[in-house]
Amino acid sequence: MRCKKGVVEVQFNWIFILIAGALILLFFTTIILKQKSSTETKIDISLVSSLQSIISGSGTVSKLADIKALPRISVGFDCDSFSIGDLRQPVGKDIVFSPDFLDGRNLVIRTWDWNIPFRITNFLYLTVPQVRYIFVEDGSYESDNLRDILMEALPPTTIKGQSAMNWEFVESIALSGLNEQNNYKVRFVFLYASADPNNIPPAFNSLKEDLTAIVVTRSPDSTQIENGDLTFYTYSGGSLVNSPVSKYIGTASLLGAIFSEDADTYNCIMLKAFERAEFVADVYRRRSAELNAEYSGSGACENIFSQAENLAGNLKSLAGQLSSSNPLDQFPDSTTIGNLKTAIQSLKDQNRLARASCASVY
């Protein structure tokens, strides 16, 4: 009996030791995980702060091309905010175009001023070298013009000796010879209206939702202000499917489309841009009214500023209509865009006349 009792006690002691050991291990594991989570949160907070500073600071400089080294970033972007981990940061009134997800160590930054015809604001564009952009041209007049515009506006492929925006131009006849290069996202941009994005080589289909395309159709009246149609394509059910046609007006908004993930995101950001345009147009309307009063009785100048006041007011109204477009997939209305282009050109003409013998409107 005494022997059996000793065996039971030994077994009980071992069970107790095992339970106690498991509890101690669980305790320290919990502490380690909490410390790890706390450290990750602190890193995320630091990255959010750094990225917000980049967005706020870069937006004040026109035609900036820069690259920023950061700890490996995994950042999600939408129309109004960006997120790192569980942290979400609104971008406020800044106009920021980016793929929906950035993953890399180097952040490529580009800015371009948006003028319709006066400066509204700087658009900010973000990407990483791991996202590949392929521009396809067909040798037509419009395609060549778009190529020239983009060659000037795109950020360089190398900045400060480091790989920057990963872009290339190819002829449509060479499209079938392209190879997939293990980029996590690929965007095809076709610079001619007759393009069929589903002629992209099958090797790229492995990217699925991370394979996207845009067909750019340049408007014949782009000699006045760069503008045209945009057809976005996203991957669905084994092929690229188009969204309703969007519009671009000005080189800055064309760049915005190239950097945006899809039509909805692009349209949403452009609504914000036109909201800003409504405010700026009203500033110039009031300036024109003040100049009209100042030059009262002067004949030609008074007439110029009177027309400028009306045109700036018209721009304000049109921008307001565009900024409140609903539903989003019907943005922008072609008629409103057409009226906007006419008002822009007319105000440019009045400003040119004003500069000749009066005071400039803008």
Report pLDDT digits (tens) over 201-216: 999 999 999 999 999 9
The average pLDDT across 286-296 equals 94
- Asked if the model's pLDDT at residue 10 lies above 80, the reply is no
- Could you state, in order of their start, the residue ranges of all structural domains in the chain? 44-261, 271-357
Residues 6+ positions from 271 with CB-CB distance below 8 Å = 322, 323, 324, 325, 328, 331
pLDDT in tens, 57-89: 887 889 999 999 888 778 999 999 999 988 999
pLDDT digits (tens, 9 = 90+) for 328-360: 666 677 888 889 999 999 999 999 999 988 999
Per-residue pLDDT reduced to its tens digit, 107-139:
999 999 999 999 999 999 999 999 999 999 999
pLDDT band at 157 (very low <50, low <70, confident <90, very high): very high
Q: What backbone phi and psi angles, to 5 degrees, belong to 61?
A: -115, 125
Predicted confidence (pLDDT) per residue in 250-284, tens digit:
999 999 999 999 999 999 999 999 999 999 999 99
Q: What is the pLDDT of residue 240?
A: 96
Comparing CA positions, the residue from 148, 98, 101, 144 lying closest to residue 125 is 98
Contact call for residues 113 and 119 (beta carbons, < 8 A): yes
Looking at residues 216-235, what average pLDDT do you find?
92
Cis preceding-peptide flag for 244 (omega within 30 of 0): no
Mean per-residue pLDDT for 8-28? 68
Strands (E), 220-319: 227-236, 239-242, 246-249
- Mean pLDDT estimate for the chain: 89
Residue 313 in this model has a pLDDT that exceeds 60: yes
Amino acid at 311: L
Pick from 170, 93, 182: nearest CA to 138 = 170
pLDDT higher than 60, residue 26:
yes
Number of residues that make up the chain: 362
Q: What percent of the chain has pLDDT over 90?
A: 71
Average the pLDDT over 45-63 and give the result: 85
Distance in Å from the first CA to the final CA of the chain: 106
**3-class DSSP state of 242:** strand
- Asked whether residue 38 carries a pLDDT value surpassing 50, the answer given is no
Q: What is the CA radius of gyration of the chain?
A: 28
State the pLDDT at residue 39.
47
The band of 13, judged by pLDDT with boundaries at 50, 70 and 90, is low
pLDDT at 1 over 60: no
User: Does this model's pTM top 0.85?
Assistant: yes
Query: Per-residue pLDDT for 11 more than 90?
Result: no
Q: Residue 343: how many CA atoms within 13 Å on its side-chain side?
A: 24
The pLDDT score that the predictor gives to residue 355 is 92
Question: Quick one: pLDDT at residue 281?
Answer: 98
**What mean pLDDT is predicted for residues 316-334?**
80
